[in-house]
Structure 1
Amino acid sequence: MQFGRLLTAMITPMTDRGAIDWPRVDSVIEHLIQNGTDSIVVAGTTGESPTLSHQEKLELFRHSVQRAGGRAKVIAGTGSNNTAASVQLTREAEEAGVDGVMLVVPYYNKPTQEGLYQHFKTVAESTSLPVMVYNIPGRSSVNLSVDTLVRLTHEVENITSIKESSGDLVSLMDLVERKRDGVAIYSGMDELLIPYLSIGSVGIVSVASHVAGREIKEMIEAFFAGEVEKSGAIQRRLIPLWRGLFMTASPAPLKYALSLLDVCEEHVRLPIVPLNQAEKTHMQTLLHTMQIT
């Protein structure tokens, strides 16, 4: 495994004026490393990538590599629905020193499976970095089929991992059986981590690890140590957290939770809006009840 078992889709801290809050970026990176994160995914959806400029993404890549200092690997979110733009950003990310790139399924323009194959192949072949393919039909509106994923893993050598967020466990089993040996599958869904691991995933690209990193790391380690009951008990205990972090548009709930933990501020960029007072009260109660401090 190139990237470890616990990967975190990192938020992008903002100031009250909507600029990137660089001191808080440092705080978040340190917080994640200290709480068990093996690799950090920068400028993904949780990092509010749709509202980050090209230049901001590059600055985040460079800054994160420098701050992590080899203590955690840095995976750059360079995918988009524009193949040429993804190629350019991927090449620049490689120059910035990242350890890998994550390419999301193109959204909005709804390509065919052949179009998806050609997109990922083209971007992957533009870099020598390991590539993680990210399937999330709930956001992209297009599902990357098992057949296409299998084809990509067998025909494009530097596609080395998959972040799978469809929630389709039957298709996941088919993928595990047919993919190229050595390609690592990561759950993209905190709430389904144990089911994904039981089928053949190696770990997770997590959102909740911002606030429960140690618990999620313990859950994964218990599973692979054969302590399945312990692992499942942790998964079930964290159910309210999974729900709370997505009670409204992400990453607003997560950023507010981290503000309560004094890791960053709650500020988000439009079209995401901060939590209302009722939602804030719910998050306060949730963290208190779960003894997350």
Structure 2
Amino acid sequence: MRNFERFGRILIPMITPFHSDDQSVDYRTARKVARYLKEHKLCDSIIVAGTTGEFHSLTKEERIRLFAEIKDEIGSELPLIAGVGAVSTKEVIEYVREAERLGYDAVMVVTPYYCKPEQEGIFEHYKMIAQSTQLPVMVYNIPLFTGVNLAPETLAKLSEIENIFAIKDEAGINPLQTTDYILATKGEIPVYSGDDTMVLQVLLQGGVGVVSGGSHVVGDLMRKSIESFLEGDVEAARKTFFSMYELFVAFKGEGRTNPTPLVKAAFELVSDLPTSMPRLPLKPATKSELERLKVVLKKLGKI
């Protein structure tokens, strides 16, 4: 298995704060968010400009500046992974070069979205990206948003590329795909759950951790659950997971597909940092969604 220990078990795709008046990026608060995550020991690594960071809503200039601001704030205190996903291979490589220049520790690349390429195109996409850099590359599979699934056979081919070090898979869509990935790659590529609600199921199949938006709020409990599982105390792991589950359900709000606005609202309630504003077309939490979050967070002792 490729070495994932440098990046740890819990990777947080950090939220991107926006000013409430004009929806511009609030870089000052972004620095504070990164510092909060580090000081409260909520994660092992930070992913900048992932899905929860609303990379899809950022301009190229905004994303690169965000990379720079967070690197300047955190330095080498935690591993930093740059979310460099884009529709075209060419654009991804441009982001990769910026991540290299700024001293990032790895990059995360979501499968190409909207264009719905064939598996051979997906393979060539990752191959060209990986060959363009010495940085470790995390593959990110989220068919719910991209419209394409990275097949286990494709990951097996990618496992021959040395600097592809892990995959983040949205396991809620295909709960057994972790097993398929591990069998296809002979256990070479570590699998992270991309779904908070699936972390124990992924660990049971041989996964190594989670890329967790919810850990902005419950990273301490997520760590407790994972450690209990790895120590063989499945009942303790399950009990801790159950304590978080109501929050994960609350993140879905009133029929939302994208939980980011609710994650941002919950983090604001817990941290008192102004982070709850998403960028349109995403809308902030409604009054009823906010009230439900408050109830759950009080149960957890977070507010």
Distance 2:94 2:9 in 1: 29
Distance 1:242 1:170 in 2: 20
1:6 aligns with 2:10: yes
1:277 aligns with 2:281: no
- What displacement does 1:36 show? 2.9
Pair 280,171 (structure 1): closer, same or farther in 2 beyond 3 Å: closer
Distance 1:183 1:263 in 2: 37
- What displacement does 1:72 show? 1.1
- Residue 225 (structure 2) aligned to one of 216, 219, 224: 219
| One-letter identity of the residue aligned with 1:48 | E
Say whether the 8 Å CA contact 1:81–1:106 is kept in structure 2. yes
Which has the larger displacement, 247-256 or 216-225?
247-256
- What displacement does 1:209 show? 0.3
Which has the larger displacement, 201-210 or 174-183?
174-183
Partner of 1:237: 243
Distance 1:182 1:172 in 2: 12
1:172 aligns with 2:178: yes
SS, match of residue 283 in structure 1? helix
Partner of 2:262: 253
Distance 1:69 1:226 in 2: 35
TM alignment of 1:20-169, pairs within 5 A: 20-33=25-38, 34-154=40-160, 156-167=161-172, 168-169=174-175
CA offsets, 1:46-98, max 9 Å, x none? 00111111111111112212212222111001011111111111111111111
Distance 2:188 2:122 in 1: 22
Alpha carbon RMSD of aligned pairs, Å?
1.4
Pair 278,36 (structure 1): closer, same or farther in 2 beyond 3 Å: closer
Say whether the 8 Å CA contact 1:165–1:187 is kept in structure 2. yes
Structure 1 unaligned regions, length at least 5? none
Distance 1:89 1:36 in 2: 27
Say whether the 8 Å CA contact 2:182–2:189 is kept in structure 1. no
Q: How many residues align?
A: 292
| One-letter identity of the residue aligned with 1:179 | T
Distance 1:285 1:251 in 2: 19
SS, match of residue 176 in structure 2? helix
CA offsets, 1:252-279, max 9 Å, x none? 1111112212033311110111122111
| One-letter identity of the residue aligned with 1:145 | A
Pair 180,123 (structure 1): closer, same or farther in 2 beyond 3 Å: farther
| One-letter identity of the residue aligned with 1:270 | L
SS, match of residue 192 in structure 2? strand
1:18 aligns with 2:23: yes
CA offsets, 1:198-224, max 9 Å, x none? 111111100100000100011111111
Pair 280,181 (structure 1): closer, same or farther in 2 beyond 3 Å: closer
Which has the larger displacement, 179-188 or 201-210?
179-188
| One-letter identity of the residue aligned with 2:180 | D
- What displacement does 1:182 show? 4.5
Say whether the 8 Å CA contact 2:42–2:218 is kept in structure 1. no
1:268 aligns with 2:278: yes
The runs of at least 4 aligned residues of structure 1 exceeding 2 Å deviation read 166-171, 180-183
Normalised by the length of structure 2, the TM-score is 0.92
Which has the larger displacement, 34-43 or 282-291?
282-291
| One-letter identity of the residue aligned with 1:223 | F
